[in-house]
Amino acid sequence: MKIGMTLPVTEPGWSRDILVQWCRRIDEGPFHSLALGERTCFPSPEIIATLGACAVLTERVQLQTTVIVLPTHNPVILAKQLATIDVFSEGRLTVGVGTGGREEDYQASGTNLSQKRIAVMEEFVTKMRSVWSGEKVVDGALLPVEPVPYQPDGPQMLAGVMGPKGIASAAKWADGVCGMSMTGSVDEAKQAFMQIREAWKTAGRTTQPVLNTAFWFALGDNANTQLETHLTRYFNWLDDDSRRAMAQACGFRGSTKQLKDRLQAFVDAGTDELLLIPTSIDPDEVDRAAEAIASL
């Protein structure tokens, strides 16, 4: 199983120095990938600009989006942006896309809420792949939209979906699924993996789906407080009682040894890649997680 580290972009306090430290420590550590997600109405850095910086600040790790809220973007412009990042990272880009969960992000981008549909995402993925293949997708344009990606067939595409309808859609077009274990439980991931494999089989896919998942984590004596502070801030759209309940129920909290054991359980479940989501902006979180990973 590959293990990646997610940038804690929903934590406040980002600066150039913080980004440099996170990128360099992840790149130097035992991690396969560096991941980041997208929120618009939140104190998080913009995903494409940040991804471009990560491409230059790293040399080794795979870069992964978890996820881009695809319907809020122009698919042709996004295809150009991501191809540029693929070139600058020399083919280290994996693209995870989804419809997102926050209506305010659609409103901020001027996207009608009627676009918040799986069918729109399918249409946009097709358009992006047409751009990457060099087709002329703009009527009357003298040239195709370039650059072409560094990877000959474009970046690997993963679907950030949950539930039967989303998984069935992903089986039509995605290389796999970038999922989420809200509780950090391996049983939650096993159930999702079973549904994904079955959907791929039903769709007649001849290749196995990429099975990626993720969970929030906090380590050490202050783990509970750190995790609950982070999640209470993150779940800002919920009422107070619901936020409190989610903060108490979600994520992994414990010792380095317990994290190692949890990771091993995900290995045994057949996970292709697990992304750890830190709940502190302190770059030392990278080193604390690396200790658990190195001992696997």
**pLDDT at residue 101 in the model:** 87
Tokens 């047409």 sit at which residue? 130
Q: Across residues 43-67, what is the average pLDDT?
A: 98
Residue 295 clears pLDDT 80, i.e. is over it: no
Q: pLDDT-derived band of residue 296, with 50, 70 and 90 as boundaries?
A: confident
Axis crossing angle, helix 163-173 with helix 118-132, rounded to the nearest 10: 20
Domain that holds residue 73: 2-294
CA 96-99-100 angle, to 5 degrees, is 90
Handedness of CA 197, 200, 202, 204 (dihedral sign): negative
Residue 170 is part of a domain; what is its CATH number? 3.20.20.30
Report the mean per-residue pLDDT for the chain.
96
Q: Across residues 16-23, what is the average pLDDT?
A: 98
Long-range contacts of 105-112 (CB under 8 A, 24+ apart): 105/38, 105/39, 105/40, 105/41, 105/69, 105/72, 106/69, 106/71, 106/72, 108/40, 108/41, 109/40, 109/72, 109/73, 111/71, 111/72
**pLDDT at residue 109 in the model:** 96
Tell me: the pLDDT tens digits for 181-217?
Answer: 999 999 999 999 999 999 999 999 999 999 999 999 9
Axis crossing angle, helix 223-234 with helix 240-249, rounded to the nearest 10: 140
Tell me: the pLDDT tens digits for 208-234?
Answer: 999 999 999 999 999 999 999 999 999
Q: Minimal CA–CA distance to 111: which of 178, 163, 40?
A: 40
Instruction: Report CA-CA distances (Å) from 102 to 16, 79, 105, 116, 218.
Output: 27, 23, 6, 10, 25
3-state secondary structure of 180: coil
State how far the Cα of 257 lies from the Cα of 255, in Å rounded to an integer.
5
Tell me: the pLDDT tens digits for 111-124?
Answer: 999 999 999 999 99
Tell me: the pLDDT tens digits for 247-285?
Answer: 999 999 999 999 999 999 999 999 999 999 999 999 999
**pLDDT at residue 272 in the model:** 98
Structural domain count, the chain: 1
